[in-house]
Amino acid sequence: MSVLRPNLFRGSVAIVTGGGSGIGRAITYELLTLGCKVVIASRNAERLEKAAKELGEVGDVTSIPCNIRKEEEVQALISQALEKYGKLDFLVNNGGGQFMSPVESMSLKGWNAVVETNLTGTFLMCREAYNQWFKANGGSIVNIVADMWRGFPMMAHTGAARHAVVNLTQSLAIEWAEDGVRVNSVAPGMVESSTAAANYGKEANVFDVVKEYLPTKRTGVPDEVSSVVCFLLSPGASFISGTTIKVDCGSSLYTRLMWNIDNHDKLPAYQWIPKPKL
Ligand SMILES: CCC/C=C/C(=O)SCCNC(=O)CCNC(=O)[C@H](O)C(C)(C)COP(=O)([O-])OP(=O)([O-])OC[C@H]1O[C@@H](n2cnc3c(N)ncnc32)[C@H](O)[C@@H]1OP(=O)([O-])[O-]
Ligand SMILES: NC(=O)C1=CN([C@@H]2O[C@H](COP(=O)(O)OP(=O)(O)OC[C@H]3O[C@@H](n4cnc5c(N)ncnc54)[C@H](OP(=O)(O)O)[C@@H]3O)[C@@H](O)[C@H]2O)C=CC1
């Protein structure tokens, strides 16, 4: 099912923030099928535990509740993961989110909540994983960002924070190269997980509305992000660090100003069958 070879990550250990839902869950699922042990971490302990139970049928997974905005919780997450599995190979900073609002009515508290979640949370996770393990042992980090390349109207807070993570990725790739740590990012386009649809799909019907504006004429699926994350973690990406891969099939490049793409179905989704519940 994974395009990567079976047992590729046997003996490896990963932490995936937000690993209990949506894209993070797809990443966790694929890592597990490749033999990796995975710690999933996010705020909602009940939902996380339920996800760990379901994913436990695929492989060795542990849930540890953690709010990535809280320094002491991040420190505890890394040390508990190390206690449980004795090592750490991969960190996937996928946990994040935002709300829709024009800047003029964005409160400072709301701005801070989004910047702390997406930028400061990623910084804390990277720093702690490095200080507690990667510095002495090497490792690989993938940060999930977003399609903010042309600004992010209605989500300016997340646009600013995610672009900052791209720059953080570049800085860390250089600072930590001599310790054998690779750091990359993945920037998904519009990816329709059930959670994302619940967050944005109903209110503004975003995922349905955008389809005709995408070169694919369809939204992405979580498996299409997961496969790229797993590749970046793998030895196949051993000469890639400090980069951000856009997983959007060109949507960040497309405007209808000079070129119009008519409706088509020539770029179908790469989706696991049977599809895991995401
Ligand atoms: C479109 C497709 C592209 C993207 C897809 C995805 O990313 S899919 C994945 C997407 N998944 C997600 O995005 C899920 C994760 N997202 C979240 O958990 C939240 O959006 C969070 C990041 C703000 C964290 O919030 P939290 O739990 O830490 O904090 P809190 O709830 O206490 O809020 C703090 C303050 O923020 C403000 N404020 C908050 N909401 C709204 C709003 N709707 N309206 C206006 N303002 C809002 C408000 O000021 C509030 O304070 P108040 O006025 O209440 O005293
Ligand atoms: N779907 C899409 O189209 C796109 C998604 N993205 C990004 O990809 C990532 C995954 O999104 P997706 O799977 O679609 O949606 P989800 O809502 O399923 O994923 C967000 C995850 O982040 C966790 N999370 C949020 N805040 C925190 C926090 N403070 N500490 C720890 N965990 C947290 C949530 O769990 P909990 O609530 O339990 O904390 C949840 O599992 C997010 O960063 C999202 O913004 C980027 C571009 C497009």
User: Is any atom of ligand 2 closer than 6 Å to the C-beta of 17?
Assistant: yes
Determine the pLDDT at residue 202: 64
Determine the pLDDT at residue 197: 82
Residue 153 lies in a domain: yes
Average pLDDT rounded to a whole number, residues 258-268: 96
Task: Give the dihedral sign, CA 160/122/98/27.
Answer: positive
User: Is any atom of ligand 2 closer than 6 Å to the C-beta of 251?
Assistant: no
At 175, list the tokens.
């600072």
Share of the chain above pLDDT 90, in %: 91
**Whether pLDDT at 82 is above 70:** yes
DSSP 157-222: HHHHHHHHHHHHHHHHHHHTGGGTEEEEEEEE-SB--HHHIIIIIHHH-HHHHHGGGSTTSS-B-H
Residue 40 lies in a domain: yes
At 141, list the tokens.
């980090």
**CA–CA gap between residue 62 and residue 40 (Å, rounded):** 6
Residue 237 lies in a domain: yes
Residue 97 CA, ligand 1 centroid: distance in Å: 7
Residue 189 CA, ligand 1 centroid: distance in Å: 19
Comparing 64-73, 170-179, 205-214, 223-232, the range with the smallest average pLDDT is: 205-214
Residue 253 lies in a domain: no
Residue nearest to atom 44 of ligand 1 (CA): 99
Task: Give the dihedral sign, CA 264/270/276/278.
Answer: negative
Residue 263 lies in a domain: no
Residue 277 lies in a domain: no
| Residue ranges making up the domain that contains 179 | 13-247
Confidence grade of residue 203 (pLDDT, cut at 50, 70, 90)? low
User: Is any atom of ligand 1 closer than 6 Å to the C-beta of 196?
Assistant: yes
Determine the pLDDT at residue 233: 98
At 233, list the tokens.
């973690």
Determine the pLDDT at residue 10: 98
More confident residue, 276 or 267: 267
At 150, list the tokens.
């042309």
**Whether pLDDT at 259 is above 70:** yes
User: Is any atom of ligand 1 closer than 6 Å to the C-beta of 97?
Assistant: yes
Residue 252 lies in a domain: no
**Mean of all residue pLDDT scores within the chain:** 96
Number of domains observed in the structure of the chain: 1
Comparing 135-139, 167-171, 270-274, the range with the smallest average pLDDT is: 270-274
112-141: pLDDT as tens digits: 999 999 999 999 999 999 999 999 999 999
Average pLDDT rounded to a whole number, residues 72-95: 99
Residue 22 lies in a domain: yes
User: Is any atom of ligand 2 closer than 6 Å to the C-beta of 226?
Assistant: no
User: Is any atom of ligand 1 closer than 6 Å to the C-beta of 101?
Assistant: yes
User: Is any atom of ligand 2 closer than 6 Å to the C-beta of 191?
Assistant: yes
Residue 97 CA, ligand 2 centroid: distance in Å: 5
In the numeric block, the tokens 């890394």 are attached to: 78
CATH number at residue 145: 3.40.50.720
**Whether pLDDT at 278 is above 60:** no
Q: Structure pTM?
A: 0.97
**CA–CA gap between residue 101 and residue 251 (Å, rounded):** 22
Determine the pLDDT at residue 263: 96
Residue 138 CA, ligand 1 centroid: distance in Å: 34
Residue 117 CA, ligand 2 centroid: distance in Å: 10
Determine the pLDDT at residue 275: 64
The amino acid at 263: N
Q: Do residues 66 and 19 touch, judged by C-beta distance below 8 A? A: no
Average pLDDT rounded to a whole number, residues 80-100: 98
More confident residue, 222 or 197: 222
Tell me phi and psi for residue 196, to 5 degrees. -65, -40
- The number of the ligand nearest the C-alpha atom of 154 reads 1
Determine the pLDDT at residue 173: 99
Map residue 136 onto helix, strand or coil: helix
User: Is any atom of ligand 1 closer than 6 Å to the C-beta of 98?
Assistant: yes
> What is the SS3 string spanning 32-76?
HHCCCEEEEECCCHHHHHHHHHHHCCCCCEEECCCCCCCHHHHHH
User: Is any atom of ligand 2 closer than 6 Å to the C-beta of 193?
Assistant: yes
